[in-house]
Amino acid sequence: MNYNHQEKELFYPDGKIMYSGGVKKNDFGHDIYDGKGTIFDQEGEVLFEGEFVNHMKQGNGIMYLKGQIIYQGEFIQNKKQGTGILYKDGKVYYEGHFRNDLMDGYGILYYEEDVIAPFKDLREQYPHLNRPQFEGDFVHGMKKGKGIQYYPSGFLQYEGDFMWNHMQGAGKLYYVPEAPTEVELQSGVTALHFEGYFFEDMKHGKGKVFSRQGVLEAEGHFKEDVMTGKGTLYYSNGQASYNGDLVNGLKHGRGDYYNEEGKIIYSGEFINGERLRITPEIEREIAKLQAQLDGLVGLPNAKKELHNLINFIKIQSLRVDHGLTSFPITYHLVFSGNPGTGKTTVARIIGQIYKHLGVLSSGHFVETDRAGLVAGYVGQTALKVQEVVKKATGGVLFIDEAYSLINDKQDAFGKEAIDSLLKAMEDLRDDLVIIVAGYTELMEEFLQTNPGFKSRFNHFVQFDNFSTDELYEIFAMLCKNNDYRYGDAFAQHMKSQLNQIPVETIPNFSNGRYIRNVFEKLVTIQSNRLIQQQNITRSELMEFAEADIVQAISEDLFDSTF
């Protein structure tokens, strides 16, 4: 570097030396630093020695504070820029690249003496442990980019991505060196603890956790240093012990539990680390739902099938308690029969029973049909199905008149809906139950059109037409639930009329809907009669009179509501 200057000394007003070195005149005739020189404070201590250009530090130089060196390296326009060494308390704190006065680029950061003091003997005994705090990339004075970080003892702590001084991004974290083995002492590296993603120094995102012995213990999603989300836990022999949902490191939600031989012994709900068990409280809830089902009129096939499923699930739970494999089955169902036979009511009860037995996570009920699944344009149907399935996940998706999904072999929209449902049944087989329902003959034809769809249904429930006696029971129940009553004469007329209905031969008989229609019409007839009276008592409001049913018969009510 060439300088156009003269050597000169400049002084403070009190006569003490301020600068010694190269000086030149600026355009105003003032002396400015240019060339090699030294700046002193008013106590005579050196502040800086090095190169100047046009009164600014430029080139190599050394900065001091109260007699101690604080920086040695390159400057550009008064700022630390280029390679240099930063000191703290006279010890090297950082060496590497600088930009605009800040650590920027590749560099090495060292621990302060008091931090590594407890490990002084260890570092002296094993000189290769005399490692810095960090070596890697810096931006704006902070760790950012690739880097390697060490524990104060000198053992490797972390290698990977950094963001604003934090471990952030992909990286590997090693165990704290407590009671390190001789092999670890010689290598300066403990066992790998975690490999995956970090956010602000915490495990966050996908990752794997290993034991001190190097065995994979868990892998999956992490949040704020603990497993939260989908994950897999492992036995020490490498076999998966659990695969499913976790919250704060505990099994919580849907999951599969395996024995050490790899056999699945439970699939279902977990709560706070424990699988859902049929406790006395849950048993009482199931009993209430069973009583609700048994309290329905008729439906012998549905009641038998559901009792069979409940017994099966309970026994499988006991098998798991004894470390035995539970036999997985498909819980999807086909309900076939005429309208009004209680299919929807039973489906709702099943959802709640499945919830308490751990088959489903919520047991809620979503009802749909072709209109709710099939769109008017190719490609939109799949999206529509996905939306409905998302709403039903965790519960029961009830598809009424399911046969209408396929109108004929050329029905591309219906085929797209079926294909989308098949995918959902596979992807969500552990937390979605689909019940398809419709007329018996049409449902048989429907399942034959798609073998893949049929193979996923193992349970078929036939809902037979209600007998005339059962229709009368339903009518009596409607009256009781709605605060109506009637006398013997009314009852005789009702039974006589119902016994004349050929329920077994009427095509598509509406069953429960039929008797509900009869009930609603009788309520209307009673209302028309009572409104003619001046005064109406509470008893009269509750009473069906014989005249009401005689009027209904005269209006052919029992013939017109099939």
To the nearest 10 degrees (0 to 180), the angle between helices 343-356 and 280-294 is 170
Distance CA 207, CA 220 (A): 6
Same domain, 289 and 414: yes
Across the chain, what does the average pLDDT equal? 90
Looking at the fold, whether 12 and 105 belong to one and the same domain comes out as yes
- Domain assignment of residue 136, yes or no: no
Q: Are 297 and 373 in a shared domain?
A: yes
Beta-carbon neighbour count of residue 434 at 10 Å? 23
pLDDT in tens, 233-251: 999 999 999 999 999 999 9
Of 16-20, 152-156, 296-300, 323-327, the range with the lowest mean pLDDT is 323-327
CATH number at residue 535: 1.10.8.60
End of a domain among 426, 445, 463? 463
Q: What is the 3 state secondary structure string of 44-88?
A: CCEEEEEEEECCEEEEEEEEEECCEEEEEEEEECCEEEEEEEEEE
My answer on whether 383 and 287 are in the same domain is yes
pTM above 0.85, yes or no: no
343: in domain: yes
Q: Based on the domain organization, do 369 and 490 belong to the same domain? A: no
The C-alpha atoms of residue 531 and residue 467 are separated, in whole angstroms, by 35
Do 302 and 393 lie in a common domain? yes
Residue 472: give the domain boundaries.
468-560
Do 377 and 485 belong together in one domain? no
We report the CATH number of the domain holding residue 60 as: 2.20.110
**Residue 409 pLDDT exceeds 70:** no
pLDDT in tens, 337-385: 888 888 899 999 999 988 888 888 889 999 999 889 988 777 788 899 9
CA 471 distance to own-chain centroid: 47
Q: State the DSSP string of 290-356.
A: HHHHHTSSS-HHHHHHHHHHHHHHHHHHHHHHTTPPP------EEEEE-TTSSHHHHHHHHHHHHHH
Q: Is residue 117 part of a domain?
A: no
Look at residue 273 and tell me if it is in a domain. no
The answer to whether residue 443 sits within a structural domain is yes
Give tens-digit pLDDT for 107-145: 999 999 999 999 999 999 999 999 999 999 999 999 999
Q: Is residue 68 part of a domain?
A: yes
Pick left, alpha or beta for residue 332 (phi over 0 → left; psi -120 to 50 → alpha; otherwise beta).
Answer: beta
Same domain flag for 377 and 511: no
514 and 445 within one domain: no
What's the pLDDT at 9? 94
How many domains is the chain built from?
3
Read off the amino acid at residue 162: F
pLDDT digits (tens, 9 = 90+) for 415-453: 888 888 888 888 887 789 999 998 888 888 888 877 777
Question: Are 398 and 506 part of one and the same domain?
Answer: no
Same domain (yes/no): 442, 481: no
Tell me the average pLDDT across 320-346.
83
Q: Is 313 part of any domain?
A: yes
Torsion over CA: 385, 391, 397, 398 (sign)? negative
102 and 40, same structural domain?
yes
How far apart CA 198 and CA 47 sit, in angstroms, is: 42
Final residue of a domain: which of 405, 434, 463?
A: 463
> Last residue of some domain: 434, 463, 492?
463
In this predicted model, what pLDDT tens digit does every residue of 290-311 receive, in sequence order? 888 888 888 888 888 888 888 8
The reply to whether 340 falls in a domain is: yes
